[in-house]
Chain A
Amino acid sequence: MIKHLLKIIWNRKRVNALILTEIVFSFLVLFGVMVMATLYTVNYRMPLGFSIERVWNVSVNPHMSADENKIAVLDGMAQIELALRELPNIEAVGGISLTPYNRSTSISGVDFEGRKINAYVNDATDEAGEVLKVDLIAGRWFSREDDAGTQEPAVINERLAKDLYGSADPLGKELPFNKRRVVGVVRDFRKAGEFSLPVNYLLTRIRTTDTASGRFPWDVILRVKPGTTAEFQEKLVKTLEATQKGWTFRVTQLERERESDHKTRLTPLLTGMVIAGFLLLMVALGLIGVLWQNISQRTQEIGLRRAVGGTAQQVHHQILGEMFVLTTFGLAIGSFVIVQFPMLDLIPEIPGSVYSIGFGISVVLMYLLTMTCGFYPSWLSMEIQPAEALHYD
């Protein structure tokens, strides 16, 4: 049966070559879009590791060089925290260097047991864990206990723990990053948000009382009580401006930051999907047209088959079968191109599983597309009467 179909396809090779090319390119377009969509979906479903519900961010600008005025800046930060704690609408106050959804990143890389290990680094205060409700899976967050320790504490995410120590218990281990000691492991800390790629994460402790290290939490994060409205922002800024003369403050609500982050990340994907959708619709309509035209060209052949006893059903199946074989060829050629991506690791950010899912979805959709396009023309072929075909000239 297949051999027979192949022969028929080969006999009309010029027309079929064009259809084949069209199938290959459509498949590539579909695959590209599906891989991106899968990547977004997979990332979105992974846990964030913290909650930004009702969390606001105050970025602080002291308008002076923090390196030259360490004590003044740290003291100012401490006073700001105190002033915030006294406000009635606030549940918790903490400090952090890089707030969630903030675009800047800081990466640190080390050689560990002969491997190169990278981690995204961030600093947070003791209270930041409570504000962000971090999802601890082992150990604890930073606390006053760490004041006494001789080694600086660190909280790492599960991914970094696995990367460094495999299945061994990471708690209490000395990290290759500045010899910090692991006090806790969080499920994750995806600062860049739901659509970001999973990365290794390392959190270190900062204190506003630590004049020795002179590191600052540039952003104050706070969780407001339920029912707090946006009007509270102005009061917040006025209170802070009264606390520190000459400093300026900017308040943002992380829930809004998340919205705009999602908008910027989803817009290109959605645009791509709409364009690809139209491209495929165009291809589908084109295919229907071409197949329809082909059927009318093959009236004689089909009529002859009917005359010597082939049923309408058999003809129908033959036309669909040809389309199926052609699609399979197209997908095989397309797969040859596609397989280069995971094999050569052309885009290292995309894991193999995402490729497989994207591939599976596009294969199914391509068969669906070509079979649907083939259905109406091949149904038309059933209408061809043997007599009509034999008269044809």
Chain B
Amino acid sequence: MLKNYFKIAVKVLLRRKFFTLISLFGISFTLVVLMVVTAALDNMFAPYPPETKQDRTLGVFNALLSGENTMNVGNAGYAFLDGYIRTLPDVEMVSLFSSGGTVSAYRDGAEIKLTLKRTDGEYWKILEFRFLEGGPITADDEAEANLVCVINEATRAKYFGGTEAVGRFIEFDRERFRVAGVVENVPRYRDIPFADVWVPVSTTPDPNYREQLTGNFTGLILAHDEADFDRIKGEVKSRLRNVQMPSSSYNRFESAAETMFEATAREAIGASYSTNPEHGDSTIESYTAQAVGGLAIATLLFILLPTINLVNLNVSRMIERSSEIGVRKSFGASSATLVGQFVVENLILTAIGGILGFIGTAIILGMLNDSGLVQYAHFSMNLRVFLYGFLLILAFGLISGVYPAWRMARMHPVKALRGVTR
């Protein structure tokens, strides 16, 4: 029976090519937009190398320190992370690293702007970078404040002209660092592993950072298992109470262990620690729900117009099919059978649009990667994005097909046979 539906669908599609074209254009354009967004979100938040252990990684990203007249909001500080997070019990590993800052290196008088992160040795164990040559910064480098660095492929190309760089020196911020390793570029939108140059934390010129509760550091916690997340979050929360205030003028310190998505959702909704009196895990989770809800609403709003458009086209094509419907009904086809047939037909149309959409998405992602709009962008499609896309196609096909099908199936056979639609 499905085979018959398919045959009819193809015939109908080929009968009025202009309409088929309009429908396909609408469907594939809608899916391209939805899938580009899906692919971008997937590339930002799903585990991609070097964040292969993302499913059991938590971050301590932000911190707030406030008193009567002062308020510091920002990234977590080294003193807090070192004293209260590094010592967390029953976790596999904890790493501390600074957020990216810009430094300038010079080659033949030309400036090369680089994003610099200061890391410890554990960072390179939690994150699995692909090394093109050499190796990572080690715990010894951190302990002895060795002037070594890891650079990415792009920096090697710009500073060393693409030739082998391990053992050679790169100069910035008044210091000469020996290159220990070269890694593949990591896209800008992967906030934790992204940088051009990595050096040991202990090489920071000004040792002041060691005293700070808020500053520009992030703590990365590798749990034994994802199931430990709640326990770790709770432990971090309970430890906040023990944090020693730097002076009597401060009375409140806030922070939390979050996943990357939770942290991004919190920042995107604009609910910084500063504006909300209720902090802690509960509020962070509710922002995640809001972010997901917001995305869902935005998606629905976006597909509203294409759906109405497609429904409109399908309904107005009813006249073409009226004699067919009349014959089918006269010979005893039930309304349900007809609805089924028309929905299947619409799904076939959306599937063709979906294939075009996949091709379009691949082209747009390729253009985005080449545009240089996002540093080292490497947006790609994978099975997961494909599955999401497939679900979107299915939903879109059903939504836009059901109403017209119902209208068609409800036609009175006599009227249908005469070709009267009203």
Contacts and interface: CB of A to CB of B under 8 A. Distances in A.
A347 to B, nearest CB: 14
B312 A285 contact: no
A72 interface: no
Interface string B306-335: 101111110111010000000000000000
A64 B206 contact: yes
B103 A250 contact: yes
A234 B313 contact: no
Interface stretch (A20-28, A116-124, A205-213): A20-28
Nearest to A282: B26
Given A275-B33, A282-B25, A285-B22, A63 B313 contact: no
Interface stretch (B60-68, B106-114, B235-243): B106-114
Interface stretch (A46-54, A182-190, A291-299): A291-299
Nearest to B111: A233
B319 A63 contact: no
Interface in A272-310: 275, 278-279, 281-283, 285-286, 288-290, 293-294, 296-297
A160 B103 CA distance: 37
B231 interface: no
Contact of B173 (A248, A275, A289): A248
A293 B309 contact: no
B316 A289 contact: yes
Contact of B174 (A64, A233, A248): A248
A241 B174 contact: yes
A230 B310 CA distance: 55
B408 to A, nearest CB: 13
Task: Give the interface SS of chain B, mostly helix, strand, loop or mixed.
Answer: helix
* Residue from B103, B111, B173 having most chain A Cβ neighbours under 10 A: B111
Contact of A22 (B103, B106, B305): B305
B102 interface: yes
B111 A251 contact: yes
A237 interface: yes
A290 B306 contact: no
A290 B19 CA distance: 9
A267 interface: yes
A286 B312 contact: yes
Contact of B22 (A233, A286, A393): A286
A64 B103 CA distance: 18
Nearest to B102: A250
A18 B312 contact: yes
A231 B317 CA distance: 67
Contacts of A18: 308, 311-312, 315
Contacts of A288: 22
A65 interface: yes
Nearest to B317: A293
Contacts of B19: 289, 293
* Residue from B103, B310, B316, B421 having most chain A Cβ neighbours under 10 A: B316
A241 B373 CA distance: 33
Contact of B26 (A29, A275, A286): A286
A98 B173 CA distance: 22
A87 to B, nearest CB: 15
Contacts of B316: 15, 289-290, 293-294, 297
Contacts of A63: 205-206
Nearest to A276: B305
A309 to B, nearest CB: 25
Contacts of B418: 393
A149 interface: no
A296 B173 CA distance: 75
A275 B311 CA distance: 20
B116 to A, nearest CB: 11
Contacts of A166: none
B202 to A, nearest CB: 15
A10 B418 CA distance: 23
Task: Give the interface SS of chain A, mostly helix, strand, loop or mixed.
Answer: helix
Interface residues of B, number: 38
Contacts of A65: 208
Interface in A242-291: 246, 248, 250-251, 263, 267, 275, 278-279, 281-283, 285-286, 288-290
Interface in B71-112: 102-104, 106, 109-111
A19 interface: yes
A290 B312 contact: yes
A393 to B, nearest CB: 7
B305 A26 contact: yes
Contacts of B103: 250
B415 to A, nearest CB: 13
Interface string B288-320: 000000000000000011101111110111010
Contacts of B315: 15, 18
Contacts of B109: 230-231, 233-235
A181 B174 CA distance: 43
A231 B111 CA distance: 8
A288 B316 CA distance: 11
Contacts of A250: 102-104
Nearest to A11: B422
B93 to A, nearest CB: 31
A263 B418 CA distance: 60
Given A21-B308, A248-B174, A283-B305, A289 B313 contact: yes
A129 B310 CA distance: 60
Given A231-B110, A248-B174, A393-B418, A282 B205 contact: no
Nearest to B310: A286
Interface in A205-227: none
Interface in B314-368: 315-317, 319
A185 to B, nearest CB: 32
Nearest to A29: B305
B388 interface: no
B106 A237 contact: yes
A202 B210 CA distance: 36
A367 B106 CA distance: 57
A241 B173 CA distance: 10
Nearest to A229: B109
Interface of B: 18-19, 22, 25-26, 29-30, 33, 102-104, 106, 109-111, 173-174, 205-206, 208, 304-306, 308-313, 315-317, 319, 373, 418-419, 421-422
Please name the 6 residue pairs, one residue from A and one from B, whose CB atoms are nearest each other, closest first: A231-B109, A293-B316, A63-B206, A286-B309, A234-B106, A285-B22
8 contacts: A18-B311, A63-B205, A235-B109, A251-B111, A278-B29, A281-B25, A286-B313, A290-B316
Given A63-B205, A279-B29, A282-B305, 10 more contacts: A15-B316, A22-B309, A25-B308, A230-B109, A230-B110, A234-B106, A237-B104, A250-B104, A286-B26, A288-B22
